[in-house]
Amino acid sequence: MTHSQRLVHTADLDPAELRDVRALLDHAFDGDFSDEDWDHGLGGVHVLIRDDGGLAAHGALVMRRLRHRGRWLRTGYVEAVAVRADVRRTGLGGRVMAGLERVLDRAYDLGALSASDEGALLYAARGWQRWPGQVHALSPDGVVRLPDEEGGVYLWPPLAGPLDPSGELVFDWRDGDIT
């Protein structure tokens, strides 16, 4: 089966492509992909992989800010990674991530994502590092700790070197899931 891969900004996706991406995500997440989750994956770049059966895989990279030890880092945040059920475990998730990591390496101080247990295997195998420290968010009410997110945040090695796990990560605020 032939696969075509495309890196494209949200602004250059036509309505049919956006519908295809949303349908893939709804199906891949068994209906547990909210409108807020969808919104989180827009406004950045997307890797789309198509085959004879249509859209086979997708991932997005959006700009966020993450504070560590008093410094705000321009962070490429990975969102909405999914592979169609009939082509899972064929390397397409790795191809999606390779496309996003190429952008990360050239455009951001750091990469970050929140991983499910299943997804964590892919990310760790690619060199993503699990953040062992505390996770916070800058909320409308100030900085709040997010203990439920701790252990599920993965980082793509920052250009400035490793981060200090004794310092916390503070994510910018957004509606829905913060990480």
- Examine residue 99 and state whether it is found in any structural domain, yes or no: yes
- Using 50, 70 and 90 to split pLDDT, how confident is the model at 39? very high
What's the mean per-residue pLDDT of the chain? 94
pLDDT tens digits, residue range 5-26? 999 999 999 999 999 999 999 9
pLDDT digits (tens, 9 = 90+) for 119-156: 899 999 999 999 999 999 999 999 999 999 999 999 99
Which pair of structure tokens corresponds to residue 66? 């993450």
Residue 176 placed within a domain: no
- Confidence band (pLDDT; 50, 70, 90) for 162? confident
Q: Which residues contact 166 (CB under 8 A, 6 or more apart)?
A: 133
Q: Does any domain span residue 178?
A: no
| 8 within some domain | yes
Q: What percent of the chain has pLDDT over 90?
A: 86
Q: Which domain does 96 fall in, by range?
A: 4-171
| CATH number of the domain to which 139 belongs | 3.40.630.30
Domain presence at residue 126: yes
Please tell me which of 79-83, 147-151, 166-170 the model is most confident about, judged by mean pLDDT: 79-83
Look at residue 154 and tell me if it is in a domain. Answer: yes
Please report the pLDDT score of residue 131 as a whole number. Answer: 94
Q: From the centroid of its chain, how far is CA 99?
A: 12
Structural domain tally of the chain?
A: 1
Residue 167 has pLDDT above 90, yes or no: no
pLDDT mean over 72-84? 96
Is residue 94, in this structure, part of any structural domain at all? yes
